[in-house]
Structure 1
Amino acid sequence: MKAGVLYSGGKDSSLAAIMLGTYYEVELNTFVFDPARLIPTIENAAQALGFPLRKRVFPEGMAEEMAEMVISCGYPNDAINRIHQTAIGTLAGEYKVVGDGTRFDDRVPMLTRAQVQSICGRTGSTYVRPLLGYMRSEVDWLVDRLLLVEYGETGTIENGDYESEIRAAIRARGVDPATLFPPHHEQSLVVGKKKCTNN
């Protein structure tokens, strides 16, 4: 059975894809706002994992709408959760099983129980979050055993995180996104896969 995994190219979604790949035929899905945006680093990460990747595009005008939401709220959480909900809902319309890399201690993005029930009830799909029971320290331990990863601040790492495109849309409105987003947000990008060890 196929599983559509929401994929940023980062360590969490990569680890989730590896876990789901034990039982399902995984297809990675990366969402962008701009259909012309190229995603070579994410394609390389998917290739390193050995899973096919599909680039998908959010509805036209969504980046601007979400930028306005961030500006009006004064923080990005609601917008990022809305974006994530849209992505999961889109995949649930095509796959019987949908997954992502949200962890135990994630706050954003994180769908509520009611949101998950609504999506699954409407589409008949199953939403699987294999890292939901894992705290960050355990995720990092597994990632260190399995993957080669680069780290950096938002804007310095070319992954598929929603934040960079939303920041650009905010900047286009003449607003400094640094005043709206938390400082020192570390991003990750998978650049290879390690040979498994028994340690």
Structure 2
Amino acid sequence: MKAGVLYSGGKDSSLAAMMLGTYYEVELNTFVFDPDRQIPMVEAAAGVLGFPIKKRVFKKGLLDEMVDLVIAKGYPNDAINRIHREAIEALAGEYSVVGDGTRFDDRVPMLARDAVQSLGSRTGCSYVRPLLGWVRPEVDRLVDRFLTVQYGETGQVRNGDYEAEIREAFRARGLDFAPLFPKHHEQSLVVGRKNS
């Protein structure tokens, strides 16, 4: 059975894909707002894992909506959660199993229990989060054992994180995103696999 996994190229979604690959035929899915955006680093990370990857494009206008939402709220959390939900909903229309790399201590992105139940009831899709019971130190320990990872600030690491494109959209409008986003937000990108 196929499982569509939301994939940023980072350590969490990579580890989740590896875990799900034990039981399912994993297909990685990276969502972008701009259909012309290239994701070579994310594709390379998928190649390291040995799973096929699909680039998918969000509906037109969603990015502008999300920039407006960040401005209205004064922080990005609601926008990131909305984007994540949109991606999961899109995959639920194609896959019977959808997964991602959200962990126990994640706040954003995170679907609440009632949203997960609603997704299953409406679509028949099983939404699985293999890292949900894992705290960050244990995730990091497994990642260090199996993967080689590059770390850096949002925008410096060219992964498939939603936040980078939102920040770029702020710049395109001539707006300063810095007051609205957390400082020192570390991102990751898988660049190799260890022989463990």
Q: Which amino acid aligns with 2:78?
A: D
Query: Take 1:59 and 1:114, find their aligned partners in 2: how far apart are those partners?
Result: 24
- Identity, in percent, stands at 73
> Residue in 1 aligned with 2:151?
151
> Residue in 1 aligned with 2:33?
33
1:174-189 counterparts in 2 under 5 A?
174-189=174-189
> Residue in 1 aligned with 2:92?
92
CA contact (8 A) 1:81 1:108 kept: yes
Shift of 1:119: 1.3
Specify every segment of 5 or more residues in structure 1 that has no aligned partner in the other structure, as ranges.
Answer: none
Query: Take 2:21 and 2:174, find their aligned partners in 1: how far apart are those partners?
Result: 43
TM-score of the pair, normalised by structure 2? 0.99
1:31-70 counterparts in 2 under 5 A?
31-70=31-70
Shift of 1:173: 2.1
Shift of 1:115: 0.9
**2:125 is aligned with 1:125:** yes
Query: Take 2:123 and 2:101, find their aligned partners in 1: how far apart are those partners?
Result: 21
Query: Take 1:115 and 1:165, find their aligned partners in 2: how far apart are those partners?
Result: 25
Query: Take 1:167 and 1:180, find their aligned partners in 2: how far apart are those partners?
Result: 10
How far does the alpha carbon of each residue in 1:39-93 deviate from its partner, in whole angstroms, 9 at most, with x for none? 0000000000000000000000111110000011100000000000000010011
Specify every segment of 5 or more residues in structure 2 that has no aligned partner in the other structure, as ranges.
Answer: none
Shift of 1:174: 2.2
SS of 1:107 mapped into structure 2: coil
Count of aligned pairs? 196
How far does the alpha carbon of each residue in 1:123-154 deviate from its partner, in whole angstroms, 9 at most, with x for none? 10000000000000000000000001000001
> Residue in 1 aligned with 2:109?
109
CA contact (8 A) 1:10 1:189 kept: yes
SS of 2:191 mapped into structure 1: strand
Q: Which amino acid aligns with 2:24?
A: Y
Which runs of structure 1 show a deviation greater than 6 angstroms over 4 or more consecutive aligned residues?
none
Query: Take 1:33 and 1:27, find their aligned partners in 2: how far apart are those partners?
Result: 20
Q: Which amino acid aligns with 1:62?
A: L
TM-score of the pair, normalised by structure 1? 0.97
Q: Which amino acid aligns with 1:128?
A: V
